[in-house]
Amino acid sequence: MSSPSIPPPLLLLRASTSAPLAVNWRKRATCASVAVAALAGDGGCAGSGMEQLRQGKASSSPVQEKPVMSNIGKSTNILWHDCPIGQPERQKLLGQKGCVIWITGLSGSGKSTVACALSRELHCRGHHTYVLDGDNLRHGLNRDLSFKAEDRTENIRRVGEVAKLFADAGTICIASLISPYRRDRDACRALVPDSRFIEVFMDLPLEICEARDPKGLYKLARTGKIKGFTGVDDPYESPVNSEIVIKMEDGECPSPKAMAMQVLLYLEQNGYLQA
């Protein structure tokens, strides 16, 4: 029995829809293949030696190499896993170089103001940033730390490690903290490779910062209600080799925008705003 003839318009419709359907199925098949390969360990995290061992992958060597385990601090038997998408790929995607801009200075020197102004200027130019503000971090990540010397060191260490991760992600990370001790700032610098740690020193006199006293902390420290306050009864160790120093000009403090532009100009001149 012969099949009924298809009117020309319907035949044309079938012909026009069959190609896209075939393409869609080919796309789905390709995606499925990629997903299977990823699950098999081919497209997921490289450095997954343990995963390859679990999957029974054959090695070119007759003897499987034993993964090198590490003991770091109180963590034992841990293994570092590398992924095929690294900092260069992320930076290319964002069109910038990941770095840490570490703003240090006395309370009231304008650190947070500069951090937010700089973030705004970079955002308006299409760059991805994130601000790590010292007080904000003590609302969560560092809420268990006091202002004793040993806790301040741990506070800076944690922020340095977080800033390092942001830089590795390709983000311009702006950290704004008093960070009074030189050794702690230097330790954070050592975490970030390839000169991607940019120290910004807010070099304003103590009397200017105390006159501002936006939080009323200097007054409390002078009356003995706060102990260990930086600049009053706890030292601030000024940087000796900051990439950027922001000072008063002719007895006047620069505007937030002017200070932000000083940092932005440094980033432009040193190639941080391109991948």
- The residues that are catalytic are 179
> What's the helix, strand, coil split of the chain in %, to 5?
45, 15, 45
Whether 34 and 43 have beta carbons less than 8 Å apart is answered as yes
d(CA 176, CA 102): 6
Structure tokens at 122: 């970079």
Whether 195 and 164 have beta carbons less than 8 Å apart is answered as no
CA distance between the termini of the chain: 68
Q: CA nearest 266: which of 248, 245, 250?
A: 245
d(CA 270, CA 13): 59
Cα-only R_g, the chain: 28
What is the DSSP code string of 203-256? ---HHHHHHH-TTSHHHHHHTTSSSS-BTTTB-----SS-SEEE--BTTBPPPH
d(CA 37, CA 53): 16
Q: Please report where in the chains the tokens 């000083």 appear, as a residue.
A: 262
Task: Collect contacts of 6-10 with beta carbons under 8 A, ≥24 apart.
Answer: none
Q: Please report where in the chains the tokens 């069109």 appear, as a residue.
A: 95
